[in-house]
Each structure stands twice: as structure tokens, then as C-alpha cells.
Amino acid sequence: MAARGGADLLCPCGPSQPCRRAVHPAVFGMPFVSSQDMGQAAKSARTVVISGVPDGVLNDDVMSDILVIHFQKTKNNGGDVEEVKYPTREKGVAYVTFEDQEVVERVLRKNEHQLEDRRLPRYYPLKVTPYCENVFSSVSSVLNMSVFKDKFVLEDLIEELKKKNTALTFGPLQSNGHISVQGSFPAIRLLRDFLLLKAKSLSEDKNEESKSDQSPKKRQQKHRLTRETNKSVHGAEGEKQVVILDTDIYHYMKHFSKELLTNADVVISDVTDGDITTLHLQRARSRPDAGQILRVKEKIENQSMKLHNSLRKERIYLVECSRDKKKYRLVCESVKSCYHKVLVIPYDTHIDVIGSSSEVFQFTHEVNKKLQSLFQKR
């Protein structure tokens, strides 16, 4: 999955096909993750998302107890449960946090989870996924840290970043100043903002040092030039902005948040390059409010992050036979009519299904049942 600044800001890709692009720190940035965020990141690593929990069958407290019992059983590859969150904002979805992260790995390895209890009328299949598995399932990028080499010892700077950002994984620092980094999209985005500010502060320091070596008259001229330059840069930012989105997020927004992408005051054009879509925002002619572009940009970015936190993605792989591929698509189209907030994107080799955890699980489960029944009749 993806997002990137300019042509190569960052490259959020799925774990199956990691993508790597060089990223200059001046366009890559992030404030440090707080200790609270670090604790939350550690907890997230011990949490799984449970979809398919039967809704309305039993009292919520009873259902929570049944989930605890299920995920503590050895036959389900379970272990000690720290917490169960149910019900949640998503119908049929629960969050189970284990005391040990190794239990998460075992639970995920189990092929099928069947929720069974004498208080339930029947067995219920459950879908178990990592807490972080969503549209932005993974981000993998390469940073160019050489811009800092004149001011910092790069090895020390990298060690500081590692300690402060435990949710990210850093590769070895290369001799050319490049280093790979991998983690969730929000963590990568925070890192980007921090490095951007750090690079900007270095540039300002150099300007101050240069000023101190100049005569008063030259300093006055320099100050006026800087002020005028800043003014022109600010004006340019007001005239045009760029928003980097994951292509799947963009497709979802085009279907379900059209009002964000259609604005009489702002002209929005898009350029899609695989997993990445770059939006160019420009002021419409005869529209005087340049600040409107910044407001539209902020709304799009905020909605993008909300979708990042709520969406899940499943992939249905197609068979080789072209006739059977058509049947896959027809089945998905027929089921889609019952799931109005699910986005179905067909490709030559697979079909992507994007939506909330519960709806994606229910959609794919129903599609698989219909396909199985269809092929058994042949």
C-alpha cells in the first residue's frame, strides 16, 4: 500500500511486495513518539482483531467471556488474555490483547477458528488478523540521511531515532548515508515530519551564521531579501499543494467521500503510479481565497488517516481459467449489492475488497460460500 511525497516521499507497500524508494529527509519528516505512544505500540503488537463475532445472540459480557475462554484454550493455540474489547464501534468485531506477543503469532498460525460454546446456538467461524493489518499494512522506505552528516554523527542520530521510535524497524546505515526503515504508515509519517523540521532548523542555523559574518548594511539587505522570499514561498504554498495518498484509500474516497474531492474553489488533479496516488490542489481561477487550498488539503489528509484506522483489505485470488474468472467477478458483484460500504476493485489476477473489518469479513465469507457451491455443481 502506498503514499509518497512528490515523486518519491514514501512507499507504503504490503508485506508481500515491499517497495523501496530513496527519500530525502527534507521531504520526509516526524516528532518523536511519546512514551505513551510507545506503550500503545507495544500493546498493539500483542493485539488481534476478531471479525465474525455473532452479534445480538448473547449478552455482551457473556460474549466477552466466551472469547476469553476460546483464546485461552491450548487447542486454539491460545494463551493468557490480558484484555478483550467487545462490543466495539464495528459490528461483530472484537479486539483481544494477549499478555505475551508469542501467543499472537501462534493464534494467527491456526488455519480456522470456530467459536463454540454450549450457550451458543451453533458454531461461528472467526477471522483473526493482526491489529495493524489494514489498508496501510506496511510501509518500507529508504531514507537519505546524508544531509545531516555535516552537523551530526549519523550513527548517533540513527540510534536516537531507534530509541524514540520503537514502532519502526531500521536497517543498517549505508556508507552513502541511506538507511531503510519499515513500520506503520502513521509512524513513518511522524518520522517524516520530524526529519523535515530538523532539516529546516539546520538551514535556519546556517542562515543565522551567515548573517553574523555580514556588515549591518548587508544584514539589512539580507533580512529584506529573506522576508520577501518567505513571502513568495508562502504565496506559492497557498497557490498549490500536494497530497500523497495510498491508491486504495484514494479509490475508496472517490466512491464514498466524493464531496472532499469536488470543490468549486479548488481544482484537484490526480496522478496514480501503482500503489501511490498524488493529488495536486490548485486554486480555481477567479477564486481569491488561496487559504481554501490548505483547508481542503487538511480535510483530505484527516479523512485519509481516519480511513487508515478503520479500513481492512482482503484479496480474493482468481483461478487461471478466464471463464472462471468471470464467475468470480459476477459473484462479487451480486454480493456487493448487500454491502453498500464495501469497495470491490477487480484486477486481472485478483479482486481487492476494502471496507470495515466486519463487512469485509462477511463479504468474503459469503463470496467464498457462493463460489464453493457454484463449483461443486459443475
What pLDDT, on a 0 to 100 scale, did the predictor assign at position 30?
A: 33
107 vs 13, more confident: 107
C-beta of residue 301 within 8 angstroms of C-beta of residue 128: no
Highest mean pLDDT among 117-126, 157-166, 218-227: 117-126
DSSP strand pairing (139-144 vs 22-23): parallel
State whether CATH 3.30.70.270 applies to domain 39-130.
no
Split at pLDDT 50, 70, 90, the class of 289 is: low
117 vs 144, more confident: 117
C-beta of residue 190 within 8 angstroms of C-beta of residue 30: yes
Cis-peptide, bond into residue 87, ω within 30° of zero: yes
53 vs 375, more confident: 53
Q: Which residues of 144-176 are buried (b: 16+ CB within 10 A; e: fewer)?
A: bbebbeeeeeeeebbeebeebbbbbebeebeee
What pLDDT, on a 0 to 100 scale, did the predictor assign at position 326?
A: 84
- Note the pLDDT tens digit of each residue in 100-129: 989 999 999 988 899 999 999 999 999 888
What pLDDT, on a 0 to 100 scale, did the predictor assign at position 6?
A: 30
Highest mean pLDDT among 8-12, 186-190, 205-209: 186-190
Supply the DSSP string of 182-194, one letter for each residue. EE-HHHHHHHHHH
What pLDDT, on a 0 to 100 scale, did the predictor assign at position 170?
A: 85
Split at pLDDT 50, 70, 90, the class of 244 is: confident
C-beta of residue 95 within 8 angstroms of C-beta of residue 47: yes
Split at pLDDT 50, 70, 90, the class of 140 is: low
**Distance in angstroms (rounded) separating the CA atoms of residues 224 and 181:** 40
Cell of 143: 531514507
Average pLDDT over residues 164-181: 82
Split at pLDDT 50, 70, 90, the class of 226 is: very low
What pLDDT, on a 0 to 100 scale, did the predictor assign at position 35?
A: 42
User: If we measure between CA atoms, which residue out of 238, 242, 244 comes closest to residue 290?
Assistant: 238
What pLDDT, on a 0 to 100 scale, did the predictor assign at position 320?
A: 66
- Note the pLDDT tens digit of each residue in 23-54: 333 333 333 333 443 444 456 678 888 988 99
pLDDT averaged over every residue in the chain: 75
With cell 455473532, the residue in question is: 54
- Note the pLDDT tens digit of each residue in 335-372: 998 888 999 998 888 889 998 877 887 788 788 888 88
What pLDDT, on a 0 to 100 scale, did the predictor assign at position 121?
A: 93
Domain 241-310, second-level architecture:
2-Layer Sandwich (3.30)
- Which of 137-141, 171-175, 264-268, 349-353 has the least mean pLDDT? 137-141
Check whether 16 has a pLDDT greater than 50: no
Average pLDDT over residues 264-272: 86
Cell of 231: 513571502
What pLDDT, on a 0 to 100 scale, did the predictor assign at position 204?
A: 60
C-beta of residue 283 within 8 angstroms of C-beta of residue 261: no
